[in-house]
């Protein structure tokens, strides 16, 4: 069976590998689910792994199969699988348990172990292949009526967790009713977060560098939010116009923007960083004394959020479904860049450089 793989640590090493056909019995105790891959999302993480910035092969292998955003259909289930059956649509969580207490209670998304296991990212093969087998614990059902958005399940889980974490952490205040939110970045995470915050009734401004007009701005407005090009209106100017946000969710992939956001959060506010910056950029000219003063006196909160567990996938899928009711047909406009098959690895990864792309994904098979 063919798969799109890389040699971790080697720049631009993506190639087509031959791997064994999976069997439902590969998972013990009758809990295996054999899935036929329909679509696999491609994002900046895949590009950075191909650049050799991070990612390690599973023990005993010299290659790592890419793909951590998957949508597929069940082909076979083990005798002890109860929540899924043949022909059900599904997706899979990404991170697998390690040895810590968090992992033992199903919170492997917040493991305290320094070595993490993630499908298609680190120490575990991913989903960019024709079939795979997975333990039922990590397979999440996608409703049939949502199959056109199934490839967005994983990014939706990231957004759902970021929002959940902010609200959970803000219970420290006993009363927190945010009204104004900034979302920085208008890629898939930024746009899905915009939609989810609108579903929760917040007034949302989505900030990105892309000038008006354009598809990203159109999607933001269709969700009932406001799009702001920071090339036209810097964040500081926007704050003067609309006030400081109670919640900021940062999703640009830029550490510079992440720190700039710290200058503008409201009193008692919360900010969530979702960007993973693998470079070596260092910030100069940051008003650290001023920010430190305002954050301490203003009881402000900063937290990082990465990955999602099964509950976050379920919430993300529920929000995608509700989004289709409230904003029919809008979310599917993110699916800008389909690629038929993965047999040309460099062509697949090259699409990540396409500035007009919002969601790059591979059509692996027809349903």
1-52 pLDDT per residue, tens: 999 999 999 999 999 999 999 999 999 999 999 999 999 999 999 999 999 9
Asked whether residue 311 is domain-assigned, the answer is no
Asked whether residue 346 is domain-assigned, the answer is yes
The CATH number of the domain holding residue 235 is 3.40.50.720
Domain count, the chain: 2
- 136 and 161 share a domain? no
Asked which of 287, 304, 321 is the last residue of a domain, the reply is 304
- 137 and 192 share a domain? no
- 187 and 258 share a domain? yes
- 62 and 138 share a domain? yes
Asked which of 304, 321, 344 is the last residue of a domain, the reply is 304
CB within 8 Å of 99: residues ≥ 6 apart:
113
282-301 pLDDT per residue, tens: 888 899 999 999 999 999 99
Asked whether residue 329 is domain-assigned, the answer is no
Asked whether residue 28 is domain-assigned, the answer is yes
CB 247 within 8 A of CB 166: yes
Asked whether residue 269 is domain-assigned, the answer is yes
- 28 and 110 share a domain? yes
- 109 and 211 share a domain? no
Q: Bridge partners of 362?
A: 40, 339
- 244 and 281 share a domain? yes
The CATH number of the domain holding residue 92 is 3.90.180.10
Rounded to 10°, the helix 188-199/215-222 angle is: 20
Beta strand 89-92 with 2-6: parallel, antiparallel or unpaired?
A: unpaired
Asked whether residue 312 is domain-assigned, the answer is no
- 170 and 124 share a domain? no
For 204, other C-beta atoms within 10 Å of its C-beta total: 25
- 341 and 249 share a domain? no
| HEC letters along the chain | CEEEEECCCCCCCCEEEECCCCCHHHCCCCCEEEEEEEEEEECHHHHHHHCCCCCCCCCCCCCEECCCEEEEEEEEECCCCCCCCCCCEEEECCEECCCCHHHHCCCHHHCCCCCCEEECCEEECCCCECEEEEEHHHEEEECHHHHHHHHHHHHHHHHHHHHHHHHHHHHHHCCCCCCEEEEECCCHHHHHHHHHHHHCCCEEEEEECCCCCCHHHHHHHHCCCEEEECCCCCHHHHHHHHCCCCEEEECCCCHHHHHHHCCCCCCCCEEEECCCCCCCCCCCCCCHHHHHHHHHHCCCEEEECCCCCHHHHHHHHHHHHHHHHHCCCCHHHHCCEEEECCCCHHHHHHHHHCCCCCCEEEECCCC
CB 181 within 8 A of CB 205: yes
Domain range holding 32? 2-142+336-363
Alpha-carbon distance of 106 to 310, in angstroms, equals: 9
- 135 and 201 share a domain? no
Q: What is the pLDDT along the chain (367 residues), one digit of tens a residue?
A: 999 999 999 999 999 999 999 999 999 999 999 999 999 999 999 999 999 998 999 999 999 999 999 999 999 999 999 999 999 999 999 999 999 999 999 899 989 999 999 999 999 999 999 999 999 999 999 999 999 999 999 999 999 999 999 999 999 999 999 999 999 999 999 999 999 999 999 999 999 999 889 999 999 999 999 999 999 999 999 999 999 999 999 999 888 999 999 999 999 999 999 988 877 788 888 999 999 999 999 999 999 999 899 999 999 999 999 999 999 999 999 999 999 999 999 999 999 999 899 999 999 999 8
Alpha-carbon distance of 350 to 51, in angstroms, equals: 12
Asked whether residue 310 is domain-assigned, the answer is no
CB 115 within 8 A of CB 18: no
Asked whether residue 328 is domain-assigned, the answer is no
């Amino acid at each position: 069976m063919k798969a799109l793989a890389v040699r971790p640590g080697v720049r631009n090493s993506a190639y087509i590998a031959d791997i064994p056909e999976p069997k439902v019995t590969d998972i013990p105790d009758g809990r295996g689910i054999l899935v036929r891959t329909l679509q696999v999302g491609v994002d900046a993480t895949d590009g950075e792994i191909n650049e050799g910035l991070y990612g390690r092969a599973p023990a005993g292998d010299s290659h790592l199969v890419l793909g951590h955003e998957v949508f597929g259909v069940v082909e076979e289930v083990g005798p002890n699988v109860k929540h899924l059956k043949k022909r059900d649509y599904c997706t899979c969580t990404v991170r697998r348990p390690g040895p810590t207490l968090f992992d033992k209670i199903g919170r492997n998304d917040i493991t305290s172990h320094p070595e993490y296991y993630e499908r298609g990212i680190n120490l575990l093969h991913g989903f960019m292949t024709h079939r795979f087998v997975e333990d039922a614990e990590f397979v999440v059902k996608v409703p049939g009526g949502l199959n056109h958005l199934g490839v967005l399940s994983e990014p939706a889980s990231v957004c759902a967790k970021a929002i959940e974490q902010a609200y959970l952490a803000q219970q420290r205040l006993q009363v927190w009713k945010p009204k104004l939110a900034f979302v920085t970045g208008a890629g898939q995470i930024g746009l899905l977060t915009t939609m989810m915050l609108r579903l929760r009734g917040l007034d949302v401004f989505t900030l990105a560098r892309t000038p008006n007009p354009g598809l990203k701005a159109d999607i933001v407005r269709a969700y009932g939010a406001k799009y702001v090009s920071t090339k036209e209106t810097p964040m500081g100017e926007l704050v003067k116009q609309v006030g400081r946000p109670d919640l900021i969710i940062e999703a640009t992939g830029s550490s510079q923007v992440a720190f700039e956001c710290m200058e503008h959060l409201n009193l008692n506010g919360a900010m969530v960083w979702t960007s993973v910056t693998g470079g070596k950029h260092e910030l100069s000219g940051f008003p650290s004394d001023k920010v430190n003063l305002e954050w301490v006196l203003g009881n402000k909160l900063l937290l990082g959020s990465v990955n999602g567990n099964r509950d976050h996938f379920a919430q993300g899928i529920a929000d995608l479904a509700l989004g289709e009711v409230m904003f029919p047909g809008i979310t599917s406009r993110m699916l800008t860049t389909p690629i038929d098959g993965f047999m040309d690895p460099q062509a697949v990864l090259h699409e990540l450089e396409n500035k007009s792309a919002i969601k790059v994904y591979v059509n692996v098979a027809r349903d």
